[in-house]
Structure 1
């Protein structure tokens, strides 16, 4: 309780403990999150009040008194059925509405970055329009040297998620979104960062012994700083598809297993 009184977290009460958003999707996702909590709170109050009220109102007051036993009460049974269906339908409608909006991808995003999650580090391959002198450049990390992901503020970025080994999950808390990185599957999503800063990213799927070390830094910078970083990667020799990226479309060990089975 004392820790929650910190001046650094005074705004977290208003955000329901969520971090301050750093993407254009934040407002919609926070609205869905807040609405769900309000609905849950109202449901809890109604159910809890009915439990307390019925326990007091219909309690057994003496050995000679037995409360009236109600069976096959059609109006109540209909209420028990209809009310939850209406509540779930409302939750479902708003969830699908927000989901369809934020998962819609543009045909030509400003940037395309291939994200490779491998045991136990991240690799970020800057492709297409971000190629330097016609060559892709990349940031690669290791469990003891986490990778850096650079993003330009105010410009759309599509993350293409790949894994050569097991299921990982690409998560940047300030974007209010995460998505599984599944071997053999080409998952992707698109965001537009709207606030400069340095944030922490991580794997949100238990993927093995060093899962806790699958971290990365996210730097949302100006477009000029973003371009300068890509040129630095070229100067450092981080050019071409890294090993993780080259193997990210296959499942590790699958070909050997098929050969042994045949």
Structure 2
């Protein structure tokens, strides 16, 4: 009877914990920032699904441990029934972990392919160059079949507590696919925007690429996530997601400014 009451209490506590998790957005994200892109949403779901699978396995393991402790305690000096060389149990021990790993592998590979997929002709292309210790953002457009830089933002190292206006800003439109091409002139850096739930290495002599579609307008912090030298902590930037109309105005203003400077 005591064992059954303990199991009921444990089940009630588990149900209460799951209910509390469902009521809180932050807790439901399990430590992840609020995602702002389609790709980040997919990664968050994979993260949550992995936790659910881990919790389910944990419940089974905890249940078996509690069951063994409560119902198979030593009650006499008699040797309990032995289950060595039990073929069905041995097969179960082998098959269950294999199935769990296979399921996790499938969903991980599926979502990785989705996140890393590149389209043929994205509407927005930004070349990002990391250097000690800041960022340069070059906005590309095809003019006469050739790709040209139509706007450029070059940053300088800033203090971690610097105001927003001191950081270089990468501006992109919401609802449109953006391709980011990563370059480095000196050492290995890492492009990281926590709200994208994604980061990618910026390597000298090699161009890394990825695409994302942002859905939530706003200003989001970014930084280098690879120790790259003495001023690594000052290699900060911001990602600004604006409406397509605001982005078109940003590009038009940049073109006009460049044309005025060329005269």
Same fold (TM over 0.5): yes
Counterparts in 2 of 1:10 and 1:60: CA distance versus 1, 3 Å? closer
1:187-245 per-position Cα deviation (integer Å, ceiling 9, x unaligned)? 10111111211111122233333332222111111233223334555576699xxxxxx
Question: Residue 89 of structure 2 is aligned with which of 67, 70, 76?
Answer: 76
TM-score computed with the length of structure 2 as normaliser: 0.76
| 1:203 partnered with 2:224 | yes
Bigger share in helix: 2
Which sits farther off after the overlay, 21-30 or 102-111?
A: 21-30
Partners of 2:116 and 2:199 in 1: CA distance: 12
Count of residue correspondences: 228
The answer to whether the 8 Å contact 2:191/2:224 transfers is yes
The answer for unaligned runs of 5 or more in structure 1 is: 1-8, 240-262
Partners of 1:182 and 1:51 in 2: CA distance: 49
The answer to whether the 8 Å contact 1:143/1:213 transfers is yes
Partners of 1:83 and 1:52 in 2: CA distance: 20
Tell me how far 1:136 sits from its aligned partner: 3.9
Once the two structures are superposed, the pairs formed by residues 24-35 of structure 1 within 5 Å of their partners are 24-35=38-49
Which sits farther off after the overlay, 111-120 or 65-74?
A: 65-74
Give the equivalent residue in structure 2 for 1:88. Answer: 101
Give the equivalent residue in structure 1 for 2:169. Answer: 148
Provide the aligned C-alpha RMSD in A: 2.8
The answer to whether the 8 Å contact 1:114/1:124 transfers is yes
Give the equivalent residue in structure 2 for 1:46. Answer: 60
Partners of 1:180 and 1:17 in 2: CA distance: 23
Partner SS, residue 201 of structure 2: strand
Counterparts in 2 of 1:163 and 1:67: CA distance versus 1, 3 Å? farther
Question: Residue 15 of structure 1 is aligned with which of 20, 23, 29?
Answer: 29
Tell me how far 1:35 sits from its aligned partner: 1.1
| 1:159 partnered with 2:180 | yes
| 1:119 partnered with 2:132 | yes
Question: Residue 122 of structure 2 is aligned with which of 99, 109, 124?
Answer: 109
The answer for unaligned runs of 5 or more in structure 2 is: 1-22, 159-165
Once the two structures are superposed, the pairs formed by residues 122-141 of structure 1 within 5 Å of their partners are 122-129=135-142, 135-141=149-155
Partners of 2:127 and 2:71 in 1: CA distance: 63
Give the equivalent residue in structure 1 for 2:69. Answer: 55
The answer to whether the 8 Å contact 1:120/1:142 transfers is yes
The answer to whether the 8 Å contact 2:182/2:208 transfers is yes
Counterparts in 2 of 1:59 and 1:196: CA distance versus 1, 3 Å? same
The answer to whether the 8 Å contact 2:150/2:251 transfers is no
Once the two structures are superposed, the pairs formed by residues 236-247 of structure 1 within 5 Å of their partners are none
Counterparts in 2 of 1:61 and 1:207: CA distance versus 1, 3 Å? farther
Which sits farther off after the overlay, 205-214 or 148-157?
A: 205-214
The answer to whether the 8 Å contact 1:137/1:238 transfers is no
Give the equivalent residue in structure 1 for 2:113. Answer: 100
